[in-house]
Amino acid sequence: MTIRSETRGGALAMGAAGMACVGAGVAVSGVLADAPLFTVQAIRYASASLLLLALARAARVPLRAPRGTEWLWLLGVAALGLVLFNVALVRGSEHAEPAAIGVAVACVPVVLALVGPLMEGGRPARGTVLAAVVVTAGAALVQTGGRTDLAGLGWAAVVLVCEVGFTLLAVPVLRRHGPWGVSVHTCWIATAQLTVLAAVTEGPTAVTTLRVPHLVAIAYLAVVLTAIAFVLWYSAVGRLGSALAGLLTGVAPVAAAAIGVLLGGPVPGAGVWAGTALVVAGLLLGVRARPSRKKNTLPAIASAGTME
């Protein structure tokens, strides 16, 4: 099966918008550097869960209860892609500059281009893999390296695994639950996990240490970076497949650089502009690449519950 051009264009736009939200969240996350990690994330995902439920009801999107092995996939997305990912970001930043962690995330397109089609019943497409390499090179150039130590490299590897897991572990359940269902279930499961961690490591009084800037940042993360971005991203993955959607992760560092300028930061140098050009070139190459043949095509069966 093939994806209609108008549907494909819409899916690409949703995925790019989702990654732009992620890039914009980089500056916001810095506000929470001195806040209790697990408490903040528990509030974030709890708020996002309630918002997603309200929006799904308003849009009359059906939400199904997980069953059987679906619990394992959803638990994996929540534990790996949400909880451990945030821990790795914080712990990694203690040993490495943000740019070094960002370069690890920039490798996501290549991993998704190689592994994603195998999980979806196909095989990697040469054009998509080549496009992923170009996007990865561009994203890494935008983030321009960064100093790190051995522990930092280890946490960077964990960040990469978590970011890949956030997408690939959702593939088996997107078929039945759609992007709304996957977003809702992973958020409330992550809330439960983080609440336990917060109670054990930070105590119930940790919430009283939050200040107004913290609450504003949490609100942004819950609404934009979670509720909106998750649905946009899983809609793109469901329609495009993880390999092609993975190319859109290159949008995040470009968006982060642009937001930095809007917030009063310096105008990017030549390396950032060159990296941005590579990301755009890789995306164009990937869109034009011949897709891999699949036994089951997610976009044809995972459309229920999308933003449209």
Among the residue ranges 101-110, 142-151, 252-261, the one predicted with the least confidence is 142-151
- What string of DSSP letters covers 139-171? HHHHHT---B-HHHHHHHHHHHHHHHHHHHTTH
Among 10-14, 98-102, 159-163, 304-308, the minimum mean pLDDT is found in 304-308
Average pLDDT of every residue of the chain? 82
Token pair 């991993």 is found at 111
Contacts of 72 (CB under 8 A, 6+ apart): none
Q: What percent of the chain has pLDDT over 70?
A: 84
For residue range 27-69, list pLDDT tens digits in order.
677 788 789 999 999 999 999 999 999 999 999 999 999 999 9
Where residue 303 falls among pLDDT bands split at 50, 70, 90?
A: very low
Q: Which residue has the tokens 């309630």?
A: 50
Say what the pTM is.
0.82
